[in-house]
Structure 1
């Protein structure tokens, strides 16, 4: 290692390059002893980030990233050596390869267990977040790789909850919303291979920001209804090849509709409900999330339940009640409860569509029987009695007519 570092610090550029390649190969080792043996090289790796060529700088960056992910000792040494200021300087490079390598290093640092206490505060105090936002939003000019790396970096920072208020003040919400709208607009006219790798961390960032605790003073509100169209476009486009992205879209849709009536109304008025109901026949998690979104809409009151009922939500619920998954059925029961609570006539229609028989198949399930009984006794038995009473009254009138 002493010999290698001597060559790495040589004044001959070609010798330095070969030594950098050797260090990079060593950094791939999973043996912690190898990473610790490379500790004497870290200060030089940082110094050479302003190296004599793009390839040399790129090698130094990826070597640092590999060492950082494998060794606590390396990360502990890199911070006082000034890796964050070095990366902040490097992020202003015009070279795509350098920016991708920098994103890799930063993502490894941000995933470290000590990141929330020791690394992320330093990152937030630097110019890195503003530059990351610019690089994520300029994905079409710089290529997908740069945008993907820094989108994940932003995701790791947001998940840390260290200081999301700062990111919000720097415009992270509007930047990411506009990026999703832009990506949705080019889906039909541009090559979309790999696009899911960028959309995923962007969706997660927004979902987590929307889930922020209001008591922390950074409650996020999004008002742009065009975001809904983008989400449904992504779900339709990626459903077959990348179903994981449908779940990410639904998580964001759930957080959008949880508190904001504007998005619940938009799902109905923009005629997006049929597409949402179609997702009830997909995978278990997709079905659960779609049911949760429907519950968010139904919770908003009678007017919303009326529109759900008018757009034939009951037949879809009868299909989910036929499933054996207790969580899916339980969420279906919750949606029925909200519909019957706000729209009693929905209980009549449910009975007329053999809904009672659909419920009875779950009455012996220990996880569901109490909810089935409560639903039946509270809404369906009164509705059935009312129907019988109406039928009796009709029969009594007939002879005298």
Structure 2
């Protein structure tokens, strides 16, 4: 994950500016990797009541003859109940990949299903939509392509009156959008973005959650930065998304999770983050972060980390953007409460979801990288020791902890005076026993900064057999850093 600059450095060539530049290069590489990670998934919405009515039986795989029979009954049955039962049997059969592939190969099958979807009988429409939903969940791209004739109708039905039907259409479109570029090419000129912008004003939480899912799928498309995100930013969607993320009694965790991921994908595209900033995204996310920290102190609800992850990523990426600096004179982001809230979340992650520690630490890194005030908060709130306690969790976490401490140390002598004396030096000596080169390298960088600004720490290091510990690291990658550190310890 971390990228190092190639080339050897002279023993005395590692000044503070050089250390800062190398660290920023590594951070840029990590940001790039983070932007390239996508969470593509599909959702399956099934009617539990109908599944239970079937006695929990697993439907059999349907062959061509059976598929044709059910389609004919659904189309030409004598009674509406008979037609509905035929579609229920078809839907249950379509839960099998084998049936799905047989269905799309069958001549006129999709045309018949679309005809039922557009009929004037609400129950048949709903069952036909459920059949399409089963097809949309297929892992076979050919199945998604076969659903193309239905997508225009699904889009039209987003303006309907039944919240259940709208929800089903949204999840089906979300599944198809992520799978098929052909589906996206068809839906964009037909107005999917204005349709989603209209849906976001729905009073129904289930519709909003489905909408957030469909939009997040659309925003992950390869062509999103060029063809989709500019239109989204030009619509009313961003303002409404930020409203739905406002802490308060109306905040829905499920809705907030979906739209936080939507904002994450928009931010990562770097299309126009200044616009989001002018809409107040930083203050909204800050309030949400404070709300999450308060919430995890009241409850151990396992769903809270699902929201914390995209919120932390949004803030982390925004704070590294030139967009923030471009309008920086107009932005007041954060105070000691943000740092305190972040540490509450870190403790929560440590207990419940250690994999998210790196997300919180990456935000702390970005907060402290350029801001002396956030470094001051870290020191004034006595958070260095809790930070050091995270060192053993993993190599990635250890590197991020040390990087944050480097941010503090590079601010100068006054900051290093607060770092030492204290538990920092003994922790760094312990790290020298590590076998992981990246962790040791980052600790050596921190020691270089600390010893330059706090010579007493260098003397303590010497007295505690620090040089002998250094000699154990004969890895070529560390030699320049080891020689430079030895020179500082011995000669100042």
Tell me the equivalent position of 1:309.
420
Tell me the equivalent position of 1:367.
477
Tell me the equivalent position of 1:55.
164
Deviations 1:322-344, CA, capped at 9 Å, x for gaps: 10111111111101100111111
Tell me the equivalent position of 2:386.
275
Tell me the equivalent position of 1:13.
122
Note the residue ranges of structure 1 that are not aligned, 5 or more in a row: 384-401
1:157 aligned to 2:290? no
Tell me the equivalent position of 1:147.
256
Tell me the equivalent position of 1:325.
436
* SS of alignment partner, residue 113 of structure 1: coil
Q: CA deviation at 1:358?
A: 1.2
Distance 1:20 1:301 in 2: 64
Matches within 5 A, 1:109-124: 109-124=218-233
Tell me the equivalent position of 2:241.
132
Distance 2:199 2:162 in 1: 13
8 Å CA contact 1:43, 1:81 repeated in 2: yes
Distance 1:317 1:140 in 2: 45
Q: Which moved more, 1:43-52 or 1:71-80?
A: 43-52
Change (3 A) 1:33 1:208: same
1:107 aligned to 2:216? yes
Tell me the equivalent position of 2:486.
376
Deviations 1:328-372, CA, capped at 9 Å, x for gaps: 11111101100111111211111111111111111x211111211
Tell me the equivalent position of 1:76.
185
8 Å CA contact 2:257, 2:306 repeated in 1: yes
Match of 2:400 among 283, 286, 289: 289
Q: CA deviation at 1:280?
A: 1.6
Q: CA deviation at 1:214?
A: 5.8
Q: CA deviation at 1:281?
A: 2.0
8 Å CA contact 1:139, 1:147 repeated in 2: no
Of structures 1 and 2, the one scoring higher in RCO (CA 8 A, sep 6+) is 2
Q: How many residues align?
A: 381
Match of 2:278 among 169, 172, 175: 169
Q: Which moved more, 1:364-373 or 1:106-115?
A: 364-373
Deviations 1:361-397, CA, capped at 9 Å, x for gaps: 11x21111121112112x12226xxxxxxxxxxxxxx
8 Å CA contact 1:184, 1:234 repeated in 2: yes
Runs of 4+ aligned residues of structure 1 deviating over 4 Å after TM superposition are: 218-221
Match of 1:23 among 115, 132, 145: 132
Matches within 5 A, 1:186-335: 186-213=295-322, 217-219=326-328, 222-335=333-446
Distance 2:309 2:233 in 1: 23
Tell me the equivalent position of 1:388.
none
Q: CA deviation at 1:240?
A: 3.1
Deviations 1:117-148, CA, capped at 9 Å, x for gaps: 00000000000001111112247534311110
Q: Please, what TM-score do these two structures have when normalized by structure 2?
A: 0.75
Distance 1:110 1:218 in 2: 25
Q: CA deviation at 1:192?
A: 2.1
* SS of alignment partner, residue 207 of structure 1: helix
* SS of alignment partner, residue 281 of structure 1: coil
